Homo-oligomer: A and B are copies of this chain.
Amino acid sequence: MAGGVGSRFWPVSRTTYPKQFLDVLGTGKTLIQNTFDRFKKILPVENIFILTNESYFDLVKEQLPELTDNQIIGEPIMRNTAPCIAYGCYKIKQLNADAIVVVAPSDHLILETDNFINTINKALNNAETNNCLITLGIKPSRPDTGYGYIQYGDSTLAENLHKVKTFTEKPSLEIAQSFLASGDFLWNSGIFIWNVNAIITAFDLYLSDMSDIFRDGEALYNSANEKEFIQNAFQRCPNISIDYGIMEKAENVYVMPSEFGWSDLGTWASVYDLAEKDYVGNAVINSEKVMMYNSSNCMVNLPGDKLVILNGLHDFIIVESNNTLMICPKDQEQAVKQVVSDVKQKYGTKYI
């Protein structure tokens, strides 16, 4: 899934260039390229499909040149994850009626690739032999209030495959702390594994109108008429997430407690946490010529050829992209959404 248009990395991310297409950590590859490389170690390239807004078709093609055009699936409008996944799964089912599917965001960070591959392979095995919807839950290391949480019980379907009790959206700090203390809550990674028939059965049960819409196209997927059909189908879909539409309601949802150095890289602060820092805590990403005086715990991300002199800044984000400079305390970065809204009101979409 690579359809997001998140504004939290503004001004580096833009509507025309969202986070998954950026090298947020300055590693030399964009997030979607890293995700693609991980999955190449699990399955043949021809089995990888990218679901994205059709306006990003060329960006995906450019960043992942190994893909054929049919592997880049354009969504005509943004309708959240449920229609996206329904479309993808119906299309895959037309290619392989018993396919086992991994659904994964393209803009997450995973540090421990081997653990990730092992986890996915175990989940694929479980999904092949069981009519279940598997989600990967990350063992939490802190009471993060930016993540959703999954509570699991002792009941297992297989080794390390626990029945889900509840899904909880972003909690307050107090609640997040109690989740962490209880030991039976995991972070919701948004990575799903299931047999294509299991998920379509779940759509039939919990989002039956949506399932009907995409079932109507069974004869058209992977044909010249698919695009026209999808243009119309998406118009008729509600905006709804897979979590809300299916995972929170289905009876056969299981979670695999996992650890593979995961972050959703949802905020500049999360990028700072993961970035390499000097001995006074300054993280410099992409920028090549930064001179710091009496500054600490800052994150700097500016064009590489720009000379940057910082003096007396502590715990700031200094980021420039697309002719926009933002200087903001690290703990104020929730304000970025407000800033983006203000910028839009003041200058239109030029800078968004």
Contacts of A264 in B (CB 8 A): none
Asked if B327 and A307 make an inter-chain contact with CB atoms under 8 angstroms apart, the answer reads no
A86 to chain B, nearest CB (A): 39
Given A291-B342, A311-B335, A347-B307: A325 in contact with B320 (beta carbons within 8 A): yes
Asked if B307 and A316 make an inter-chain contact with CB atoms under 8 angstroms apart, the answer reads no
Given A291-B343, A293-B335, A335-B293: A309 in contact with B323 (beta carbons within 8 A): no
Asked if B316 and A312 make an inter-chain contact with CB atoms under 8 angstroms apart, the answer reads yes
Asked if A329 and B311 make an inter-chain contact with CB atoms under 8 angstroms apart, the answer reads yes
Number of copies: 2
Contacts of A311 in B (CB 8 A): 326-329, 332, 335, 339
Asked if B324 and A327 make an inter-chain contact with CB atoms under 8 angstroms apart, the answer reads no
A29 near B: Cβ within 8 Å? no
Asked if A307 and B325 make an inter-chain contact with CB atoms under 8 angstroms apart, the answer reads yes
- The proximity string for A residues 300-341 relative to B, scoring 1 for CB distances below 8 Å and 0 otherwise, is 001001111111110010101001111111001001000100
Asked if A308 and B325 make an inter-chain contact with CB atoms under 8 angstroms apart, the answer reads yes
A351 near B: Cβ within 8 Å? yes
Contacts of A324 in B (CB 8 A): 306-309
Asked if B11 and A346 make an inter-chain contact with CB atoms under 8 angstroms apart, the answer reads no
A289 near B: Cβ within 8 Å? yes
Give the interface size class of chain A.
20 to 34
Q: Determine the distance from Cα of A327 to Cα of B291 in the docked complex, in whole angstroms.
A: 11
Contacts of A310 in B (CB 8 A): 327-328
Contacts of A335 in B (CB 8 A): 293, 311
Q: Determine the distance from Cα of A66 to Cα of B335 in the docked complex, in whole angstroms.
A: 52
Contacts of A327 in B (CB 8 A): 309-311, 313, 318, 327
Contacts of A342 in B (CB 8 A): 291
A17 to chain B, nearest CB (A): 16
The 10 closest A-B pairs by CB, nearest first: A311-B328, A309-B326, A312-B329, A307-B324, A308-B325, A307-B351, A306-B323, A310-B327, A309-B339, A311-B332
A-B contact pairs, 19 of them (CB 8 A): A11-B307, A291-B339, A291-B343, A291-B346, A306-B323, A307-B323, A307-B324, A307-B343, A307-B347, A307-B351, A308-B324, A308-B325, A309-B326, A309-B328, A310-B328, A311-B327, A311-B328, A311-B332, A327-B327
